[in-house]
Amino acid sequence: MIEPPPSRPRPRFQTFDDPGHRKGAERIEALRSALREAGLDGFVVPRADEHQSEYVPADAERLAWLTGFTGSAGTAVILTDSAALVVDGRYTLQAPEQVDTAILTVVPLAESTPEAWIGAHLKRDHVLGYDPWLHTPDGLARLDRAATKAGGAMRAVPNLVDAVWAGRPKPPAGPVVRHPDALAGETVEEKLVRVRAILAEAGCDALVISDPHNLAWAFNLRGADIGHTPLALGYAILPREGLARLFLVSGEVDPALRAALAPVAEILPRAALEDGLGSLSGVRVRLDAATGAVALKEKIEAAGGTVDVGKDPITGMKAVKNAAEIAGARDAHGRDGASVVRFLAWLDGAAAAGDLTEIAVVEALEDFRAAGGDLRDVSFPTISGSGPNGAIVHYRVTRASDRAVRPGELFLIDSGAQYPDGTTDITRTVAVGEPSAAMRDRFTRVLKGHVAIARAVFPRGTTGAQIDAFARAPLWQAGLDFDHGTGHGVGAFLSVHEGPQRIAKTGTVALEPGMILSNEPGYYAAGAYGIRIENLVLVEPRAVAGGERPMLGFETLTLAPYDRRLIDPDLLDPGERIWIDAYHARVREVLMPVLDAGARAWLERATVALPG
């Protein structure tokens, strides 16, 4: 059996603390007491920080602290006599497990939005409080319309959760360092020229950069303020002419970064932001519709500036990777693929022995990646789901939920890594012991959808929504589906979830060459098992003989075999078999030279051509 690498004397990237929802009742009651003191009848608690981020620092985990729900998206509305937590399809199983449902109603987003719930439950003349740093202008407008329709009103107040949160963590202040131009593929000066050209076309005099991902990309910097994503929290004001001003939470800025940015930007403390916004009198300012808080808009307008709420142009620029970023992604996936194959080879033997738990698997995978070199962090908390836990789409194992990996079940492992040259995200579902015929049927249908996306050829201008059905069709034919998107965008040593591109029913952005996305259809049998198969793919031009239009396709970046024990070859058509065998041959070709003898032998067996 392949031995795991020794655990290293270093802090783990992932913790397994239980959120402790049993405290939800007393915490919600404390919030209601604060509501009464403030003369309010309710308060909105989104899962967000002041940048509307998916991953937030510990001091912004207000929703988790208040309710026990640890998902990356959700909104609680706490009224004096009722309360709801609205979550999307990824969390409809997880949320009821984590919160006290006696005091908090879990509402699937497919059934009701937060606005609809407010409209149905807010009483006439009641006032609903909100933190203006945690809502965008468009988001607040929707809440305001719902409250007004119910005969109530919205009121901006300091965050009431903070007022009752004893022991709230301090704001982060990690080191801020330079991201090398060689890996970025473009200098800061070159990037800012492009951004300013778009501002000029839009008739804007300045841009307030409110998304830390865009801040990191535009100024070739990386930080350590957020777990799993190398971000420095802060803002920037970028005028069409003159120095940009960066307002960073952390004061620990590498002198090399200050020196590199000196010709184009000055770095100031976050506390100076209000003065910076106050200097925008008479200026037309672009504010990002997706991440720009209501508070930013109000402060700019109070200073006499004009706010143009729209798209931050950096978002679209960042999504299209340049040659250096693409080369880095390929290198990172090769390194990551070797670590994942070593892990899968180990898992195959260790799971059969029957002495593994979900947490033990997470820690072993982290050790394999650390031994592979250049690991900076995991790109998100690893989803390690044994049996029924695999059916919880964004399951996060805790010491309270930790479950054995048992024979006769499926095991789902969704994980990723941050390397200086790229971000990875891979999901594999493996059989522990002999899978049932139903498991093989469902797995093969998911695989067919996964292969359909990988093989897709489509004209320029095609959106993610237009190809999302490719992944679902094999499941639809059996009356099945899954309740999450098929793919999300991925950054370059940035966020593992990056927009605006996505493959989903709501994916309205056209896919462009250089975009990286995930390809991850799934199937979930509640209380039994989950199946998901995920590779990252790169959008690239695709030549079609005799074609009349420019076409695109995908290069698969991820390198790791699928579990052949779960594949029913009789459900595959010849083209699907050819693609799977060719993919496995490529995995062997790239990874064999860097693997040890034990892993090579396992990979040889795992990638044998399909029968028939």
Give Cα separations from 583 to 586, 588, 590 (angstroms). 5, 9, 11
Q: Is 45 helix (H, G, I), strand (E, B) or coil?
A: strand
The reply to whether 7 falls in a domain is no
What is the pLDDT at residue 21?
52
The reply to whether 418 falls in a domain is yes
Q: For residue 500, is the peptide bond before it cis, meaning its omega torsion is within 30 degrees of 0?
A: yes
Average pLDDT value for residue range 271-292: 97
What is the pLDDT at residue 7?
64
Residue 46 is part of a domain; what is its CATH number?
3.40.350.10
Angle at which helix 323-353 crosses helix 574-591, to 10 degrees, equals 100
Side by side, the strands of the sheet bearing 383-386 are: 383-386, 409-415, 426-432
Give Cα separations from 105 to 96, 426, 592, 609 (angstroms). 9, 33, 52, 50
Average pLDDT value for residue range 554-569: 98
Q: How far is 498 from 426, CA to CA, in rounded Å? A: 15
Tell me which amino acid residue 594 is.
V
195 and 128: one domain? no
What is the pLDDT at residue 18?
66
Give the model confidence (pLDDT) of 93-128 as tens digits.
888 988 999 999 999 998 999 999 999 999 999 999
Q: How far is 499 from 556, CA to CA, in rounded Å? A: 19
- Per-residue pLDDT band for 186 (boundaries 50, 70, 90) equals very high
Lowest mean pLDDT among 24-33, 281-290, 524-533: 24-33
What is the pLDDT at residue 517?
98
571 and 515: one domain? yes
The reply to whether 159 falls in a domain is yes
432 and 539: one domain? yes
Give the model confidence (pLDDT) of 41-88 as tens digits.
999 999 999 999 988 999 999 999 999 998 889 999 999 999 999 999
206 and 246: one domain? yes
The reply to whether 273 falls in a domain is yes
Domain boundary among 164, 195, 220: 164
* Pairing mode of beta strands 42-46, 127-130: parallel
What is the pLDDT at residue 5?
74
258 and 345: one domain? no
| Neighbour-count burial for 81-114, b at 16+ CB within 10 Å, e otherwise | eebbbbbbebbbbbbbbbbbeeebbbbebeebbb
What is the pLDDT at residue 397?
93
Residue 20 has pLDDT above 60, yes or no: no
What is the pLDDT at residue 1?
61
Q: Count each helix (H run) and each strand (E run) in the chain, helices first.
A: 19, 28
- pTM exceeds cut of 0.85: yes
Give the model confidence (pLDDT) of 462-477 as tens digits.
999 999 999 999 999 9
Q: How far is 38 from 130, CA to CA, in rounded Å? A: 12
Tell me which amino acid residue 303 is.
A
Give Cα separations from 343 to 173, 198, 329, 351, 435 (angstroms). 34, 46, 20, 11, 21
359 and 476: one domain? yes
- Per-residue pLDDT band for 23 (boundaries 50, 70, 90) equals low
Residue 22 has pLDDT above 60, yes or no: no
Residue 28 has pLDDT above 90, yes or no: yes
Residue 488 has pLDDT above 90, yes or no: yes
In total, how many domains does the chain have?
A: 3
576 and 455: one domain? yes
What is the pLDDT at residue 390?
97
Place of tokens 């970025």: 184
Residue 355 has pLDDT above 90, yes or no: no
What is the pLDDT at residue 429?
98
What is the pLDDT at residue 354?
82
Tell me which amino acid residue 433 is.
G
- Per-residue pLDDT band for 584 (boundaries 50, 70, 90) equals very high
Whether the CB-CB separation of 112 and 91 falls below 8 Å is answered with no
The reply to whether 14 falls in a domain is no
What is the pLDDT at residue 13?
86
The reply to whether 2 falls in a domain is no
The reply to whether 530 falls in a domain is yes
Place of tokens 């940009």: 244
121 and 98: one domain? yes
Q: The domain containing residue 535 runs over which residues?
A: 323-606
Give the model confidence (pLDDT) of 428-454 as tens digits.
999 999 999 999 999 999 999 999 999
| Residue 526 neighbours by CB under 8 Å, 6+ apart | 93, 388, 391
Domain boundary among 277, 294, 313: 313
Lowest mean pLDDT among 315-319, 349-353, 384-388: 349-353
- Per-residue pLDDT band for 9 (boundaries 50, 70, 90) equals low
513 and 566: one domain? yes
What is the pLDDT at residue 353?
84
404 and 269: one domain? no
362 and 402: one domain? yes
Whether the CB-CB separation of 486 and 521 falls below 8 Å is answered with yes
User: Left, alpha or beta for 448 (phi > 0: left; psi -120 to 50: alpha)?
Assistant: alpha
Residue 551 has pLDDT above 70, yes or no: yes
Average pLDDT value for residue range 532-557: 97
The reply to whether 611 falls in a domain is no
In 3D space, the residue among 244, 197, 200 whose CA is nearest the CA of residue 218 turns out to be: 244
309 and 327: one domain? no
Domain boundary among 290, 313, 336: 313
Residues pairing with 26 in the sheet: none
Residue 550 is part of a domain; what is its CATH number?
3.90.230.10
What is the pLDDT at residue 55?
87
Residue 89 has pLDDT above 80, yes or no: yes
Average pLDDT value for residue range 196-219: 98
What is the pLDDT at residue 612?
76
How confident is the prediction for the chain on average, in pLDDT?
Answer: 95
What is the pLDDT at residue 10?
60
